[in-house]
C-alpha cells in the first residue's frame, strides 16, 4: 500500500527554536498533502492544504507566518514551526493523496511528530 | 462549522464479540465519508471511502454502511480480536472542498482478552 514517511517522530527543543517537519510520499506522487494538528482528546484538525508548486491553503485561524509550508516536489512537503513556543507543543501529522481523480481517494498518513517546546 | 460526531467515545468489547459504532454528519453537506483505523504508535490506515447512499463496504471482519439522507454511517466489527484494538476515525468530505476531510474525535475500541 501507499507509504508516507514523516520525520522526525519526536522533537524536544527550547522556546524560540524553529522546527522543520518533513512529509514524504515514498511510492506515489502526491499533488496534495495535508497538515493536521491534534490537541489532547480532540479530533485531527486540518491546518493547511499543501499543493505542489503553489502556495498552501491555510484553514481559518492558522497563522501562515507561524506555520510555513513548502511543497517543492510531488513527493515532499515540509512544515516549519517558526520561533516555536510552549503553546505550539502538539502532535502534528501529515497525509498525502495520490495524484488522481478526486473524491474517492483516501488519504495516506505519516506516523506523526510529537513536538514539545520547553 | 461542519461537525462530525462519533459515538461512543470509548468502547470495551470482549474478544469474540461483535460490535458497532456510529458516525453522524450533516446530510446537507456530504460528498464522501471515510473510515480510518488508527493503532497506537502507527499511522492512520484507510479502511473505506463511501460516496453513495446505501453503500456497504467490507474488509475482512469489518464492514461499514452509509445513509446520506439521515446523515450517519455505522462501522461493524464481527468476532472482535485483540488486533482490532485501535481508534476508529470517521471523516467527512464536504461538497465544496472535496480535497478536504473533517474528522470526528474517534471511537477508542479496547478488546478484552
Q: Is the pLDDT of residue B98 over 70?
A: no
In this prediction, residue B27 carries a pLDDT of: 87
Of A44, A97, A111, the CB nearest to B103: A44
In this prediction, residue B20 carries a pLDDT of: 97
In this prediction, residue B30 carries a pLDDT of: 82
Of B43, B99, B102, the CB nearest to A49: B99
In this prediction, residue A87 carries a pLDDT of: 95
- Residue listed under C-alpha cell 476508529: B88
In this prediction, residue A97 carries a pLDDT of: 82
Interface of B with A (CB under 8 A): 4, 31-32, 34, 36, 41-46, 49, 51, 89, 93, 98-106
In this prediction, residue A79 carries a pLDDT of: 97
Three-state DSSP at A51 gives strand
Is B26 in contact with B3 (CB distance < 8 Å)? yes
- Residue among B3, B10, B6 nearest B75 (CA): B6
Of A32, A106, A110, the CB nearest to B49: A106
Q: How far is B75 from chain A (nearest CA, A)?
A: 17
Pairing mode, strands A10-13 and A113-117:
parallel
Q: How far is B35 from chain A (nearest CA, A)?
A: 9
* Residues of B in Cβ contact (< 8 Å) with A95: 44
In this prediction, residue A40 carries a pLDDT of: 83
Q: Omega of the bond prior to B8 within 30 degrees of 0, cis?
A: yes
Tens of pLDDT, residue by residue, chain A (118 residues): 668 999 999 999 999 999 999 999 998 888 889 999 998 888 899 999 988 888 899 999 999 999 999 988 889 999 999 999 999 999 999 999 876 555 567 889 999 999 999 9
Q: How far is B9 from chain A (nearest CA, A)?
A: 10
> For the residues of A14-42, what is the DSSP string, one character each?
-TT--EEEEEEESSS--SEEEEEEE-TTS
How many whole angstroms separate alpha carbon A114 and alpha carbon B62?
A: 30
* Residues of A in Cβ contact (< 8 Å) with B36: 106, 109
What the block records as the C-alpha cell of B95 is 461538497
For chains A and B, CB pairs below 8 A equal 54
Amino acid at each position: 500500500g501507499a507509504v508516507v514517511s514523516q520525520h522526525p517522530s519526536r522533537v524536544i527543543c527550547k522556546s524560540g527554536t524553529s522546527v522543520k517537519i518533513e512529509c514524504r510520499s515514498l511510492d506515489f506522487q502526491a499533488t496534495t498533502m495535508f497538515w493536521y494538528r491534534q490537541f489532547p482528546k480532540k479530533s485531527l484538525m486540518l491546518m493547511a492544504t499543501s499543493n505542489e508548486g503553489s502556495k498552501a491553503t491555510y484553514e481559518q485561524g492558522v497563522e501562515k507566518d507561524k506555520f510555513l509550508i513548502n511543497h517543492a516536489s510531488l513527493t515532499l512537503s515540509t512544515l516549519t514551526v517558526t520561533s516555536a513556543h510552549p503553546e505550539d507543543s502538539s502532535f502534528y501529522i501529515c497525509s498525502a493523496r495520490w495524484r488522481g481523480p478526486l473524491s474517492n481517494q483516501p488519504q495516506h498518513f505519516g506516523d506523526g511528530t510529537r513536538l514539545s517546546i520547553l | 462549522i461542519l461537525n462530525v460526531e462519533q459515538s461512543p467515545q470509548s468502547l470495551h468489547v470482549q474478544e469474540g464479540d461483535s460490535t458497532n459504532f456510529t458516525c453522524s454528519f450533516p446530510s446537507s453537506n456530504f460528498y464522501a465519508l471515510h473510515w480510518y483505523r488508527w493503532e497506537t504508535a502507527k499511522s492512520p490506515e484507510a479502511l473505506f471511502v463511501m460516496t453513495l447512499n446505501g453503500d456497504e463496504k467490507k474488509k475482512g471482519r469489518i464492514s461499514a454502511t452509509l445513509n446520506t439522507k439521515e446523515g450517519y454511517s455505522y462501522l461493524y466489527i464481527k468476532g472482535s480480536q485483540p488486533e482490532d484494538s485501535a481508534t476508529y476515525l470517521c471523516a467527512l468530505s464536504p461538497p465544496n472542498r472535496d480535497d478536504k476531510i473533517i474528522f470526528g474525535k474517534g471511537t477508542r475500541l479496547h478488546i478484552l482478552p
